[in-house]
Structure 1
Amino acid sequence: MVVSLLPEERALTTLHTIALAIDTLANSGISPPRLLEGSGVASCDLDTPDKLISHAQELRVFANALACTRDPALGLFLGLRMHVSAYGMLGYTMLASRTLRDALNLALDHSALLGTYFKLSLEAEGDEARLVASGYRYAPELTVFNSELCLTSLLTVLQDLLGKVVQPRRVCLSYRPPLHAASYAEKLGCPVEFCASHTALCFDAALLAQPLPLADPVTSHYGLQQCLKLDAQLNSRHDVLEQIRQHLAGNLRDACDLDSVARQMHRSERTLRRHLQRLNTSFQRLLDEVRYDKARQLLIQTDLPIYLIAEQLGYSETASFRHAFQRWSGQSPSLYRR
C-alpha cells in the first residue's frame, strides 16, 4: 500500500467513528482485525478514550469497511447510527444546550471534536435552515461515503437533540447520482438533489429556536468548559507535531534521530516520544512526511540532480532516497518529475 503523507491528511481525530463502524459491522460477522488492517490502529486502542489517530488512518478503516461489506450505501447505514452520544463530552453538552441553534453553534465552534472531513456551516434563508458541508479535500474515492456519513450523522444528531423524528426538507449533494441513488430517498425520506452547487442537509428553520428537552444550564456551562479544554489539548498536540515538523524541515541534513532533535528543541527525548506515542505516530513517520514534502517540492520546482536532492534530504546514499520515494509515492523520483 502507498503511504499517504499529504499535508491535508495529517489532521488528528478521535476513535469514535471507527469504533462505531467496528461495533456495527461486527454484527455482520466482520472482525476488527480485517477493518483495522493497514491502518496502524490496534484493537486495544479502541479501549483508550483519549487516543488520537490521523485522518489517513481513519480513511484506511473506511476503505477496508467498504471492501469487506461491498455495500455502496455503507455511509448512509453508519451515519444513521451515529448518535450524538458518540461525540463524548461535546455530544452531551449539545444535549444540555438551550436550543437547537445553540447546540449546533457549539458543535461548529468546536468542529475539531466532531472529527468531520468537511467545513460545516449553519445557514438560514426564509423558512429553510441548512447545514452545509464544504471543503472536502481527502481521498476522492471516498467522497460519496464521507458525504453520506456526514449528512446522515447530522440528521441523527438533530433527531437526538430534539428527541423526535425530523423530516428533512431536502438533501443537496454536489456529486452525480451513484448507482445506489435510490437508497437516499428511501433512508432519508425526503427529496434528494444531485449535482447541486453545494452539499447540505436542509430542514425547517423554525426548529432552530426550539428548546431542547434535556436542556440544563449548569451541565451546559460545565460541558462548555470541558470542550474548551479538550479543544486546547487537541490543538496543543497539533502544535507539538508542527514544531517537530518545522524543525525537521530546516534541519534535514542533521536530523538523524529523535534525541538530537529533542536537544536542539530544548526538550527531553522522553517527553517528545510520549507526545508522539499518544498521537499514534513516530519520529520516523514525521521525518518521512517532511522528507516527502521536500522531495516533491524539489523535484517539481527545481532541476537539481537526484543525488543532490538526496543529500538535501539527509540521505548519505542516493539509492536509499530512491527506495524511500518509491515507497511513499508508488513511483520513482525520475518518473514523478516527469
Structure 2
Amino acid sequence: MTLASTDQRQSIIGISLLVKLIESYGVSSESILSQAGIEVALLDDPKATISVQQDIDFTQAMMNAIDDPQLAFKAGQAFRINAFGAIGLAASACGTVEEAINFFLKYIRLSYTLFDIEFIKQEEISVLRFNDFYPLEKHLKRFYLERDFAFFMISIRDVFPRSSAGSLYKSIRFGFSPEDSAGKSADDYLRCYECEVKFAQPYNDLLFDSRYLNRSLPHANALTQKLLEEQCEVQKAELVISGSFADKVRKIVRTTEGVIPKLEDIAAQLNMTRRTATRKLQAEGISFQEIVSEESSRKAIHYLQKTQLTVEQIADKLGYSESAGFIRAFKRWTGKVPKQFRSHQQQS
C-alpha cells in the first residue's frame, strides 16, 4: 500500500499539549520546537498548522531530550478528548459508542494520530486496528502506538464512569516485540492500559466488548453534534488547502465514501478547471488515474479482508457498473482475482 506524504498538514494543538509535558521535565520546549522548524509564536494561533514531518521531527527531538521509558504513555494521557476541539466534542455528543467511533474515524485526519484506524465490528469482541498511514521508523512507530493507545484508554475513562470504562477493553495487541519496548516491562504496560497486553502480534489492535457499542453516551446531544460536525467539515477543507496538490486530490478520493469522484468534480471543489488540475498533477509526476488506482486498490483490499461483502457488492461500492471490470482491475493491482485474494487471506 502506498503511504501518505508527510508533507500533509495537521493542527498545531497537539504539539502545544506536548510542550506542557516537556516543560514539566524541566526541558526547554523552544529547543525542541526549533529542531522541528516550528515557530514558538504559532502556539498562540489555534488555527495554525504544521506538517506531519514537523510532528515527527518534534517527537524525535522530544524523545532525544527526555530519558523516560514512560514518555509515550504520558504523551497519550496529555491528549484528552476535549483537546481535539470540534472532532472530540462532536464525538462525545454522539448518541452511542458506535456512532462516536464512526464519527471520529470519519474525521480521523483532524486528530493527531499518524495511523489509519480501522473499526472491525464483530459479534462479541470488536477491534480498533491501527494500520500504517505514514512512513515511520520502527522506534517512532512504537512511540506513536503507545501514545495513541494511551489516549484512547484515558478518553474512555473521561467519558464513562470508572466502573464501565474498566470493563470495556479486553486486551491490546502490539506488533512490536518486548525487546523493542524501550526499557518498559510488562507490568509497565499493564499499569498504563489496565488490561492484557500481547506483543509480536500480526496487527496493532485494541480489542473491546461489542456490547458497549449500543451504550448511550452521557453527553449525547444531536443538535450540538450536528453543529460541531459543520465545524469539522470546515476544518477538513482548510487542511486540504495545504500540502502538495496530489495529496489534496488523494485526500478527497480517500475520504469520499462510495463512488470515487471524477477529476472535474474534485477540481470544482478546489476552485479550478479539470485542465488545471491535470496540469498540476503532471507537474508533480503523477496522474489522476494512478491516484484512483491506488485508493481503489486500498479500499477493495479493505472490503475483501474485513467485510463479508460479495465481489459484486464491492464492485458497486467502488463505482464499477459491472463486476467483470472490477475483477480485471483488481488482478492488475494485486496479481490475483478478488476471490483468490480473499481465500489466501483467510488461510494465512
Same fold, judged at TM 0.5 (above): yes
| Cα distance, 1:181–1:125 mapped onto 2, change above 3 Å | farther
Tell me the SS of whatever aligns to 1:125.
coil
Please tell me whether the aligned partners of residues 59 and 139 of structure 1 are also in contact (alpha carbons under 8 angstroms): no
Does the alignment pair 1:216 with 2:221? yes
For 1:86 and 1:158, the matched residues in 2 are separated by: 14
Partner of residue 132 from structure 1, selected from 129, 132, 139: 129
8 Å CA contact retained: 1:73, 1:145: no
1:210-289 → structure 2 map (5 Å cutoff): 210-238=215-243
The amino acid that maps onto 2:8 is: A
Q: Which runs of 4+ in 1 moved over 4 A?
A: 239-243
Write out aligned runs for 1:104-183 (5 A): 104-136=101-133, 137-164=135-162, 166-167=165-166, 168-177=169-178, 178=181, 179-182=183-186, 183=188
1:27 aligns with 2:24: yes
Establish whether residue 184 from structure 1 lines up as the match of residue 212 from structure 2. Answer: no
Residue 16 (structure 1) shift:
2.1
Moved more, 207-216 or 152-161: 152-161
Please give the secondary structure, in 1, of the residue aligned with 2:218.
coil
CA shift for structure 1 position 164? 3.6
Q: Which runs of 5+ in 2 are unaligned?
A: 249-271, 273-283, 287-348
Question: Are 2:89 and 1:92 equivalent residues in the alignment?
Answer: yes
Residues of 2 paired with 1:232 and 1:8: CA distance?
18
> How far apart are 1:148 and its partner, in Å?
0.5
Structure 1 residues 66-87: Cα deviation after superposition (integer angstroms, max 9, x where no partner): 1111113311121123110111
Whole-Å separation in 1 of the counterparts to 2:83 and 2:227 = 19
2:206 counterpart of 1:201 = yes
Q: Cα 1:86–1:196, aligned 2, differ >3 Å: closer, same or farther?
A: same
Q: 2:55 matched to 1:58?
A: yes
In the alignment, residue 65 of structure 1 is paired with which amino acid? M
Per-residue CA deviations over 1:125-157 (Å, capped at 9, x if unaligned) read 232121110115223331110110111112222
**Is contact 2:8-2:247 (8 Å) kept?**
no
Cα separation, 2, equivalents of 1:240 and 1:127:
43
The Cα of 1:42 is off from its aligned counterpart by: 1.4
Asked if 2 retains the 8 angstrom alpha-carbon contact of 1:133 and 1:200, the reply is: yes
Counting aligned pairs with the same residue, the percent is 21
- Larger radius of gyration, structure 1 or 2? 1
Aligned twin of 1:49 = 46
How many Å apart are 1:115 and its aligned residue?
2.8
| Alpha-carbon distance in structure 1 between the residues aligned to 2:233 and 2:156 | 22
Distance in 2 separating the partners of 1:139 and 1:8: 14
Residues 38-57 of structure 1, C-alpha deviation per residue, up to 9 Å, x if partnerless?
21101111111111111111
Amino acid across the alignment from 1:181 = S
Deviations 1:162-199 (A, max 9, x none): 35462321110001112313311121111111011110
CA apart distance, 1:159: 2.4
Distance 1:190 1:129, change over 3 A: same
Distance (Å, rounded) in 1 between the aligned partners of 2:30 and 2:63: 14
Conserved? CA contact 1:13–1:113, under 8 Å: yes
Which residue matches 1:37? Answer: 34
User: Structure 1 104/157 Cα, relative in aligned 2: closer, same or farther at 3 Å?
Assistant: same
Matched position secondary structure for 1:112 = helix
For each residue in 1:230-288, what CA deviation from the matched residue of structure 2 results, as whole angstroms up to 9, or x when unmatched?
11221233465868xxxxxxxxxxxxxxxxxxxxxxx9xxxxxxxxxxxxxxxxxxxxx
Q: By how many angstroms is 1:161 displaced?
A: 3.0
Contact 1:37 1:64 in 2 (8 A): no
Letter in 2 for 1:141: H
Cα gap change, 1:66 to 1:88, in 2 (>3 Å): same
CA spacing shift, 1:66–1:233, aligned 2, 3 Å: same
SS in 1 for 2:126: strand
- Give, in whole Å, the separation in 2 of the partners of 1:106 and 1:47: 28
Q: How many residues align?
A: 245
> Conserved in 1, the CA contact under 8 Å of 2:126 and 2:210?
yes
Quote the Cα distance in structure 2 between the aligned partners of 1:88 and 1:241: 27
Taking a change above 3 Å as real, the CA distance of residues 134 and 242 of structure 1, as seen in their structure-2 partners, is closer
